[in-house]
Structure 1
């Protein structure tokens, strides 16, 4: 069974202090940064992530779906909020898959639970993302140390020959 995490994009940006500060300078940059972070998160967790942004106030807009770094990004159509998009989408999705929605909107959380999905607060997402970043950093450091220690154990002449062989390939 596939697992999905649906993110109320602007709700998360406004509740995540780093992203909120970025949004005050450039909303586009804040959206990009959120998608970048969720791409890392998705890669580590092995789940499908969909980020939904409101475009309901933009005249004449049609629903727009993009895939950016493996993240599905949805801009709602004119007169459709992210909340209403998520509510409809969750009802269909939760019949076949496991789904959770990230939002701090209490009313939205209640609808999500009623639609068969679970809810996650933005704070929980931030904490989990921070933990994942630390784990990745630790693993990277361990791998770097292992790499360094392996090259220290090989005879320098053999290491030089291996490097020449690698460059020819």
Structure 2
């Protein structure tokens, strides 16, 4: 059974202090950064991430869906909020898959729970994302130490021969 994480894009940007500061400079940059972070999250957690941005106030817009770095990014159509898109999406999705929605909107959380999905607050997402980043950093440091310690223990002539052999392969 596939797992989905549906994100209320602007709600998350406004609830994540780093992204909110970035949005004050450029909303586009904040959206790009959210997608970047969720691409990392998706690859580590093994969930399918869908980010929904509402364009309901933009005249004449049609729904637009694109895939960016493996993340499904949806811009709603005119007069459709991210909340209403997510509500419809959850009803379809929760019949066959597990789904969680990230939002701080209390009313939306209640609808999500009623639709068969779970809810995650923005704060919980930030904590989980930070834990993943710290775990990756620790593993990288350990691997670097192991690499450094191995090369320090090998005779320099043997190391040079191994490096020449590696380059020929």
- TM-score of the two chains, using structure 2 as the length reference: 0.98
Q: CA RMSD of the aligned region, Å?
A: 0.8
Deviations 1:86-129 (A, max 9, x none): 00000000000000000000000000000000000001001111
Deviation, 1:167, is 2.0
Task: Give the alignment of 1:92-107 within 5 angstroms.
Answer: 92-107=92-107
The separation in 2 between residues aligned to 1:142 and 1:31, in whole angstroms, is 32
* 3-state secondary structure, aligned to 1:83: helix
Deviation, 1:168, is 2.5
Deviation, 1:62, is 1.1
Deviations 1:120-148 (A, max 9, x none): 00010011111111111100100101111
Aligned equivalent of 2:75: 75
Aligned equivalent of 2:90: 90
The separation in 2 between residues aligned to 1:147 and 1:62, in whole angstroms, is 52
Deviation, 1:159, is 1.0
Deviation, 1:149, is 1.1
The separation in 1 between residues aligned to 2:94 and 2:146, in whole angstroms, is 43
What residue ranges of structure 2 are gaps of 5+ in the alignment? none
The separation in 1 between residues aligned to 2:13 and 2:150, in whole angstroms, is 43
Aligned equivalent of 1:38: 38
Aligned: 1:17 with 2:20? no
The separation in 2 between residues aligned to 1:4 and 1:107, in whole angstroms, is 20
Deviation, 1:157, is 1.2
Aligned equivalent of 1:58: 58
- TM-score of the two chains, using structure 1 as the length reference: 0.98
Corresponding residue pairs, total: 169
Deviation, 1:53, is 0.2
* 3-state secondary structure, aligned to 2:95: helix
Moved over 3 A (4+): none
